[in-house]
Amino acid sequence: MVLSDVIGLDVRIEGDGYVEFAMHNTKFALFERTKLPELIGRDGGQAPCGEIGFIVDDVDAEAARLRAAGAEVLTGPVDRPWRERTLHVADPDGNVVEFAQKV
């Protein structure tokens, strides 16, 4: 499974443990945890260290697509008190990726 397939974004740059996605007016990139000392001069924390979220039209359809792609589903889909239906999956480094639908 390729992360770009999970989140549905095209890759702009990829290589040496780094991937940058094609987005307008935003830079969204991920890198392997093992690359942190080279990038920021120290080790990072243990996963999960952060979450990235995407608003989608149909969380249940995303859940079906992601399960079929072999994604590790952590929770959901589930309705939340803040009026979102959410799905959480883990990326290969264990970080959390959320897909949310406004309800």
| DSSP-derived secondary structure for 67-90 | HHTT-EEEEEEEE-TTSEEEEEEE
pLDDT category of residue 2 using cuts at 50, 70 and 90: low
Q: Tell me the CATH architecture of domain 3-102.
A: Roll (3.10)
**Domain-wise residue ranges, the chain:** 3-102
At residue 93, the pLDDT reads 74
Q: Which residues contact 85 (CB under 8 A, 6 or more apart)?
A: 59, 60, 76, 77, 78, 79, 100, 101, 103
| Predicted TM-score (pTM) above 0.85 | no
User: pLDDT digits over 32-76, tens only?
Assistant: 878 778 766 777 777 666 678 888 999 999 999 999 988 889 999
- Answer whether 87's CB lies under 8 Å from 73's CB: yes
Mean pLDDT of the chain: 83
At residue 48, the pLDDT reads 67
Given CA atoms 7, 15, 40, 90 in this order, what sign does their dihedral have?
positive
Burial class of residue 74, CB neighbours in 10 A (0-12, 13-18, 19+): middle
